[in-house]
Amino acid sequence: MPDLGFLNDAGFDPASPAVFDGNNGRWLTRAELMRCVTAFAERLELPRKALIFLFASNDVESLVAYLAALQAGHAVAVLNPELDAALAAKLIALFQPDFIVRSGAGELVRAAEPHRHDIHPDLSLLISTSGSTGSPKLVRLSWRNLESNARQIIEALHHTARDRTMITAPIFNGYGQSVIHTMLLAGGSFALTHARVVSREFWDTARKAECNVIGGTPFFYQTLERLDLDSLDVPRLGKFVQIGGRMPPDLAEKFHAIARARGGELHLMYGQAEATARISGLPPELLPEACRSVGFALPGGRLWIENDGRECAPMGEGELVYEGPNVMMGYATCADDLAKGDETGGRVATGDLGYRDERGLFYITGRRSRFVKLFGWRVSLDEVEQLLSHAAPVAAVNDGERLLIYAERPGATLAEAVDNLARKLNLHRSGFEIRAVDAIPRLANSKVDYQSLTR
Amino acid sequence: MSSAQRLEGAFRQGLALPPKCDVTNADNSLRQWDSVAHLQLVVAIEDEFGVRLSPADVIELKSYSAAIEILQRLGAWRDA
């Protein structure tokens, strides 16, 4: 068995707690988790490297399957178990996984004719660029990507074996995975539950597990503000981490103050799947003054602003470009791409626009790429257009927190199609807005002129 | 409009449910009832009834019938 996996560090006490299962109220130690992982990895044995699709829920069963897939040296794509059946079927037909694992159902399906794929030896994890639309465009990550990003995050957050976090995001999401990697590699621990953030059960789990760390998207912090953290009886929580899009400055200031009052700190972070998970972080001591900044590149990485292929001077606007050991190998859009090696050379143009100030702090002002963050999750605009194309020709653009759908003469058919789409993607309808336009503006090459729609 | 009609409207809007479905049996086992929908529902109820839900109310809001109990306690519910 190759020396992969987040549990292999012999420096940590095997009897120390690793994961608290909020669904049954029990702890697993590192040794117990390792035993489960090794047993599951044996069920995934094939004479050569396999592709695994894991439909994962936030439970220990899914966690074990995930860690086992990595440890067995296979390539794994972790997917939303509630992904629309037609979208899931499309992905399966396209990539033809050797195994399909569904937790909860306890299901492990072996393909009728396995190991058809030529899979690059370095490939470990595949993350969808737009999980809710079941995007077939996957980010290819190596074991080195996963491990280096986890080490960068540990260093930025000063995590140790004493740290324990509550997992607030689905573990089929790249952020959820990065929390797992980080805590296990730090020798720390975490708690998992099916319960939603807005529920008694979720906070009971955080309290029973005695978590001191919690993180989430700006939407998570809006929810937390509404729930009133002090009334939730989780006194140990002190280290707060924010990911997944720009935090409104007043919310950052508020949670900075809350964290300080608890003797802790708030870390604002920025990242994307193309860099495994995270790219930069703001040292808490620069808050609240620098609450609009995404901070500095993580240790071992370099971040700069580029315009027309040249690096910008401080305050000059351009695209954020990042270089580091956590940058993906490339994308995969079909099974053949799984054989590809590194195509990025460790550098990624993020698609985010911004600038760097005189102190070297980075700020994001806009987005060039065709993605929108809805409630903290990345959604592909092109795929939304395609999924609505049966109802009407539309142009989808990003309006900060919302997805605007421009159409010529939008009618009831389109309204209904958007309702259905929101339902299908498990995204709240309030994230979408239909707008009428006389004619969808087009460039000379007949492509949609998105810039004039966002102006 | 009766309190019940207004609450049904708030549930449809907050949980983004289709216009015709019965919402009086709605509870948080619904697929649509995720964290985003939950907060949208809170806001929809607050706007419709002119009340402010406490953090405990927000957590206890687990179903249509729980919403009625909360609104009764806040004195915002009028029986038809």
Mean of the per-residue pLDDT values of chain B? 91
Residue closest to A404 by CA, chosen among A437, A378, A377: A437
| Residues paired with A397 in a beta bridge | A404
**pLDDT at residue number A106:** 66
Contacts with B32 from chain A: Cβ below 8 Å: 423, 426
Contacts with B37 from chain A: Cβ below 8 Å: 428
Chain A, chain B: beta-carbon pairs less than 8 Å apart: 52
Could you tell me the two tokens for A391? 């109802």
CATH 3.40.50.12780 fits A5-362, yes or no: yes
**pLDDT at residue number A390:** 85
Interface check B3 vs A, CB under 8 A = no
Of B35, B40, B55, Cβ closest to residue A196: B35
What ranges do the domains of chain A cover?
A: 5-362, 369-454
**pLDDT at residue number B77:** 93
DSSP H or E run through B46: helix B35-49
**pLDDT at residue number A2:** 45
- Contact between residue A133 and residue A386 where contact means Cβ atoms under 8 Å apart: no
Tell me which residue has tokens 């068995």: A1
Three-state DSSP string of chain A: CCCCCCCCCCCCCCCCEEEEECCCCEEEEHHHHHHHHHHHHHHCCCCCCCEEEEECCCCHHHHHHHHHHHHCCCEEEEECCCCCHHHHHHHHHHHCCCEEEECCCCEEEECCCCCCCCCCCCEEEEEECCHHHCCCCEEEEEHHHHHHHHHHHHHHHCCCCCCEEECCCCCCCHHHHHHHHHHHHCCCEEEECCCCCCCHHHHHHHHHCCCCEEEECHHHHHHHHHHCHHHHCCCCCCEEEECCCCCCHHHHHHHHHHHHHCCCEEEEEECCHHHCCCCEEECHHHCCCCCCCCEEECCCCEEEEEECCEECCCCCCEEEEEECCCCCCEEECCHHHHHCCCCCCCEEEEEEEEEECCCCCEEEEEECCCEEEECCEEEEHHHHHHHHCCCCCEEEEEECCEEEEEECCCCHHHHHHHHHHHHHCCCCHHHEEEEECCCCCECCCCCECHHHHHC
Architecture of domain A369-454: 2-Layer Sandwich (3.30)
**pLDDT at residue number B64:** 95
Residue B80 C-alpha, separation from nearest chain A C-alpha, in angstroms: 31
- pTM of the complete model: 0.88
**pLDDT at residue number A409:** 87
pLDDT in tens, chain A (455 residues): 345 689 888 789 999 999 999 999 999 999 999 999 999 999 998 888 999 999 999 999 999 999 999 999 999 999 999 888 998 999 999 999 999 999 776 677 887 676 678 999 999 999 998 877 778 899 999 999 999 999 999 999 999 999 999 999 999 999 999 999 999 999 999 999 999 999 999 999 999 999 999 999 998 999 999 999 999 999 999 999 999 888 899 999 999 999 999 999 999 999 999 999 999 999 999 999 999 999 999 999 999 999 989 999 999 999 999 999 999 999 999 999 999 999 999 999 999 999 999 999 999 988 777 888 888 778 889 889 988 988 888 999 988 778 999 998 888 999 999 998 998 888 889 899 999 998 888 887 777 888 888 77
pLDDT tens-place string over residues B58-75: 999 999 999 999 999 999
Q: Looking at A151-155, B26-30, B49-53, which range is the least confident one?
A: B26-30
DSSP H or E run through B69: helix B64-73
Tell me which residue has tokens 């930069």: A280
Interface check B19 vs A, CB under 8 A = no
Strands A189-192 and A213-216: unpaired
Helix, coil or strand: residue B27: strand
CB contact under 8 A, B59 and A196: no
